Structure 1
């Protein structure tokens, strides 16, 4: 409820309070025992008289300010055509207590946060709220040029216009925004052209986010002059091919720097450890950076996450490490050579190690398998060799283990699913051998198991067929034997080609609602083909080639798009329906 001037005055200056104050004034005005008034009593009298006559006017002035701000907000609502999301804004309610979009300090409106799918433009009169320090208009549908009327919000410290449809260039005089501005986000708009140099004159900025816009010009190296900057986001913009300015390394307070997909070229500036000492997250991924990784990158003691994937970086991974709080290292899809540093095995906070599609060689350091927080390791498509560290999964909740397309030998680590969190075990195209650990059959969250093109042997754990999570089973080109495991209820791809499996087609074959691929060619599978295909079956590819099957070929197989049945041994044992030529595919 808004208090009127009269009611406010009557509350502060009731008759009783006035008489109390006057009474106190007269008491204070009593003569000194010597018969003279003291200088102190005269001064106190004057002070109280001044308080008596001036204080009501001060209170009335502040109340008028509150009423004016409420009127401004109601005008704003009307300007935006009275959106339903602001229907609770009305004359009879108090913005400070009843309007969730408004925050007040000492009964004065200081913050506005409206994320309500507002359309149109931002009117200049929003700055009539003189004490406004925080304005968040993100996630709306404003579709104008940059609202220069906000230059009049002279107390603004926080401005978020992200996720709108603002267009055109950011004005060259953007430095006319409040000199107190610390936070500026224009993320996810349709601004184009250059980022103006004068943005660097907003000298108190600690946060600047210009990601995911349509910038197609340049970005100013003068951003490096924003000495208080702690977070800088320039990624996902189609800038002109540009080098990363050396001036950016002067940002000693910078903790987060993201410039993904920004058309960066050239080398990463060096001497990072002596300059960007506060850096915690560095993301320069998916650019055209070349040369080597700065040798002192991992000497940044506060560094926790680094993403340099998708560039043309060469040379070895730096092995000088003092960033003991590292959590994520992603150097994938480059041209890096040499070994994985032994020091990575001491990064006890590391959760994610991603080095795939490089030219790395040597063994995985044993210490990496013992890291207590590691849950994601992806080192596929390198030239790595040797045995896999035996402790993988024993000391951490491993979730993703992808080491395919390397030259690893020996057995699979026994404890990969020790903590029951593993969802992807992808190790194909190596020279691994031995039996599958029995624990894999009890891995309840496992979604994908790919072991093909290795030298595994032994029987498959029968418990694989009990999994409700397993969707992709690919065990081709090994030396497994024994009966085919039952098909898990949610299986999509079941492929055990080129082994020495025997027995019949699993009984669960007919109840597999999601099965799309069933490949068991080049085995010793016997018995008959179940006649259980329905029109609604998802089965698209069936390969039973080169087995010991016999009996009639079900006509229901007409529903299968890719079919390979022939050359069962002997051929005469399999007869009946024969697929027409354009349905036969050698898989």
Structure 2
């Protein structure tokens, strides 16, 4: 996990006492040297996640003591596997060669490596059949992962390996997706290990029926058979797999009814049956499954949508029931889907009106009800759906005028109400101000709107008629509206906090984590796991399970006794739910609940970034292998560009720009590859955000505008947050990064600031004010050479240019500051000049890879 480049030197073969050799996660190229065969005592060879190429050297197969061979994720290693490799590696336990270009068949003599526990050869070009002897001789095998190859099996040959695998009593993973398996799955699959948890045979050419014998695999968690030619009915015996968590049977030829026994699967979170010819009704027994994702689309299902489907309150990712023959009206229970992200029931025969209860689905982002027979008007309750991004109501029988409130829904980015019976004036504000975001064709009674919609001008008669209708409606309904208003205010006051939590925490389609899970993940918030304390809470390191994998995370626990903590939580959720950029911290999930004492508890969960924050690298001693580590010039320049890229994205965010309001070194986190990620959006605002937002803003929180020293001077005068304020903070950040001085150091006060300090020294005194680590002075016993002096001058010139950018960004007057996009371009040009002038070929930052996550599992 460094940035080593070039080839592996042949001379490493001279280390004949070497037992462990790990060069993983670097940028090494070229072949594996033949001299590696000299390391006769080697037991572990890790060369994964590099760019090595060519075939495996024949000498490697002299390493009879090898227990671990990990050469995965090189992409360019190729050639065939030696016929007798199992004899060469009698002690081999882990054989990891996935994500390369190895071809040919799996050698039968691999079975001689009787201690093998893991075979991972996915994403290669392997052909032939799976040797039958694998299971017979490899009794310790736990993982057989061969997806994305060209491995074959037919009805008469190639399936024998399944019978052999019944001897592998510890087998947990059988991953064979995206190959060329044909014929029927043998009933012997039911004889596999009782410990088997994952079966992937998706995207092959498997035909026939799903074997009933799968019911014997009682510990199965995932069954993935998508994209085959399976036919017949879904076995009701699948209801016996009580630990099944995800079932994927889509894109087959399955027919008949959906068995009601699926409702017995009390751990099932994903049910995917789309693209079959299933008929009958949707079983109401599905209410027994804690589903998060449901896809029954593109089948021949009939009948009404059972109300029980809308009572599954765990549904949070999606409900796809489109392209069927469902009929009837939508039940009022639709409003119970308070955590759902996507709802699609398009292309059915559903009629009646849209239930008013739809407004309770406040985390819904995508709604598609097109191609049905829905009538009536768009209910006023839709205005409450603060999280909605896309609405498609096209090809129905909706009528009335287009509700004005649609123009005020700030998150709405795509609206299709075409081919209905809408009439009257089209609004011109909000989403209706962008012709590419709305589709309204096929409504003959519409008029007005922006010019690009090319609608006829509304006549005075129409206007008078509309106005008269409005006056009459208001007059007749005033008493009712007043009563409803009073009741809604009371209801809103009682439920506001809970509603806002749902509204503000739309995230990445992850289930929310519970308080108990976070207690377990952080060892009861043990102080030894504390990695930071901020204005609104504390951050703990922990480990949680996501998609059956343990992931290291950072858990930010809000101190709700602090004024503004709840508003900080809402701001962070609302900002990060729609922001996507490689230089922004990603929110994984949230916790909304109560602790063991019954008190409100709020927490945010992020990926753990192992290199800490920029504050630590600039001002604290970072040690590695006993050495003090500091950021060099290229690293600091790269981080500067990363942060500017993130700010430019935020300031151009659509539909509303985002103002960070608290940019400083401690809020910039660094990953494995020293890529910067801007975090802590607890004070963030959407530009032009008003006081009527979806959550109540405390006056204390509303006044907060960053941290002393980094906050723009105009914020001290009460000015609103703006992009200019973020640019000021960024300018101060640049000056701090390259001088090593905080803006709050004792030498700086009201009359003398870091900005003035740097401005007075540029360009002639830069060498005196720069962080001296950047100039890398030689030891006392070394002489200053002309090469060194030339390099120093190049560095000083580079830093001078960077400081000028910092000065221009941190000017007193907001309108005089450089825009962040211009600052970014200038810094990129400075980097390119420095590379050219110094002769450094700086390697681009390598995107980190999660080597713990199986590609096959994530793709499913």
TM-score when normalising by structure 2:
0.45
Seen in structure 2, the aligned counterparts of structure 1 residues 159 and 334 have a Cα distance that, compared at 3 Å, is: closer
Determine if contact 1:225/1:247 at 8 Å carries over to the other structure: no
In structure 2, C-alpha distance between the alignment counterparts of 1:250 and 1:381, rounded to whole Å: 31
Per-residue CA deviation, residues 152-192 of structure 1 (Å, 9 max, x unaligned), is 43322221122223233334554563432232222222233
For residues 5 and 175 of structure 2, the distance between their equivalents in structure 1, rounded to whole angstroms, comes to 40
Q: What is residue 318 of structure 2 aligned with on the other side? A: 424
Equivalent position of 1:137 in the other structure:
47
Change in CA separation of 1:186 and 1:530 when aligned onto 2, cut-off 3 Å: same
Give the counterpart of 1:317 among 176, 187, 210.
Answer: 210
TM alignment of 1:157-306, pairs within 5 A: 157-164=67-74, 165-172=76-83, 174-175=85-86, 177-215=88-126, 226-228=137-139, 230=141, 231-238=143-150, 245=158, 247-249=160-162, 251-252=164-165, 280-298=172-190, 300=192, 302=194, 303-306=196-199
Contact 2:250 2:275 in 1 (8 A): yes
Evaluate the alpha carbon distance shift between residue 129 and residue 383 of structure 1 in structure 2; reply closer, same or farther with a 3 A threshold. Answer: closer
Instruction: Give the aligned partner of residue 296 of structure 2.
Output: 402
Unmatched 5+ residue regions in structure 1? 1-75, 87-94, 96-107, 256-276, 559-564, 575-587
Cα distance in 2, alignment partners of residues 535 and 81 from structure 1 = 64
Return the offset for 1:239. 5.3
Q: Which residue in 1 is equivalent to 2:440?
A: 543
For the 8 Å contact 2:388–2:412, the answer to whether it is kept is: yes
Sort the Cα spacing of 1:548 and 1:334 in 2 relative to 1 into closer, same or farther, 3 A: same
* Counterpart Cα distance in 2 of 1:292 and 1:278: 25
Question: In structure 1, the residue corresponding to 2:216 is in which secondary structure?
Answer: coil
TM superposition shift of 1:309? 3.4
- 2:80, 2:105 within 8 Å by CA — same for their partners in 1? yes
Q: Using the alignment, how far apart are the partners of 1:345 and 1:466 within structure 2?
A: 30
**What secondary structure does 1:236 align onto?**
coil
1:14 counterpart residue number: none
Map of 1:502 onto structure 2:
400
Counterpart residue number, 2:201: 308
Deviations 1:355-375 (A, max 9, x none): 233343333222312421111
Aligned partner of 1:580 in structure 2 is none
- 1:399-420 per-residue CA deviation (whole Å, 9 max, x = no partner) reads 3343443222133233545334
Aligned twin of 2:604: none
Indicate the larger mover: 156-165 or 176-185: 176-185
Q: 2 CA distance for matches of 1:218 and 1:301?
A: 21
Deviation (angstroms), 1:555? 0.6
Q: Secondary structure at the match of 1:150?
A: helix
- Counterpart CA distance in 1 for 2:458 and 2:443 is 7
| Aligned counterpart for 2:374 among listed residues 465, 473, 479 | 479
- Offset, 1:350: 1.7
- Who is 2:428 aligned against? 531
Q: CA RMSD in A?
A: 4.1
State how many pairs are aligned: 445
Mapped to 2, the partners of 1:448 and 1:127 lie a distance apart of: 58
Paired residue for 2:453?
Answer: 557
Secondary structure of 1:356's counterpart equals: coil
- Deviation of the 1:528 alpha carbon: 0.6
C-alpha distance in structure 2 between counterparts of 1:197 and 1:316, whole Å: 30
Aligned in 2, Cα 1:513/1:287: closer, same or farther, shift over 3 Å? same
Q: State yes or no: 1:331 paired with 2:230.
A: no
Q: Does the 8 Å CA contact 1:203/1:228 hold for their aligned counterparts?
A: yes
Distance of 1:396 and 1:427 partners within structure 2: 17
Task: Name the CA distance, whole Å, in 2 between partners of 1:291 and 1:238.
Answer: 15
SS of residue paired to 2:20:
strand
Shift in CA distance, 181/355, structure 1 to aligned 2, threshold 3 Å: closer
Aligned position for 1:48: none
Give the aligned partner of residue 64 of structure 2: 154
In 2, the alpha carbon distance for the partners of 1:240 and 1:143 equals 26
What SS class does the counterpart of residue 407 from structure 2 fall into?
helix
Show structure 2 runs of 5+ residues with no match.
Answer: 464-860
SS at match of 1:143: strand
**Which residue does the alignment assign to 1:112?**
21
Matches within 5 A, 1:35-46: none
Distance in structure 2 (CA, Å) of the matches to 1:186 and 1:168: 12
Change in Cα spacing, 1:319 to 1:189, as seen in structure 2 (3 Å) is: closer
Q: Secondary structure in 2 aligned to 1:369?
A: helix
- Kindly provide the CA deviation profile for residues 529-571 of structure 1, in whole angstroms up to 9, marking residues without a partner as x: 112378993735513423543x43531426xxxxxx69x999x
List per-residue Cα deviations over 1:443-498 (Å, max 9, x = no partner).
23322332442234243235438634412332431234343434755423422431
Structure 1 CA distance for aligned equivalents of residues 296 and 152 of structure 2: 36
TM-score by length of 1: 0.64
